Structure 1
């Protein structure tokens, strides 16, 4: 059970890093088209990582 918990945290962190990496590749114009500012990327990535673990 502890191992499962640790693995889920590792996977969530990997999803977080992947989301940040992908969003950082967009230009400011592309982010604006999506309704995202560059300052919101961290928050969006964290929300994505958390919501993916509850699904």
Structure 2
């Protein structure tokens, strides 16, 4: 049971990091995002890859 709770906790932390990363990318001004080689429309994919690989 402890293992299951630890796993849920770890996934909750990862999901929080995913949401934060996604939101930060999505909120970048378009000119800054493009300078970084990012597109705000790809924020979901980029954040998912950054957190879960």
TM-score (norm 2): 0.83
Unaligned runs of 5+ in 2: none
- Is 1:49 paired with 2:15? no
Contact 1:16 1:49 in 2 (8 A): yes
Contact 1:23 1:41 in 2 (8 A): yes
CA distance in 1, matches of 2:39, 2:27: 13
TM-score (norm 1): 0.81
Q: CA RMSD in A?
A: 1.1
Aligned match of 1:2: 4
**Deviation >4 Å, runs of 4+:** none
Q: Relative contact order (C-alpha < 8 Å, sep 6+): which is higher?
A: 1
Paired positions, count = 51
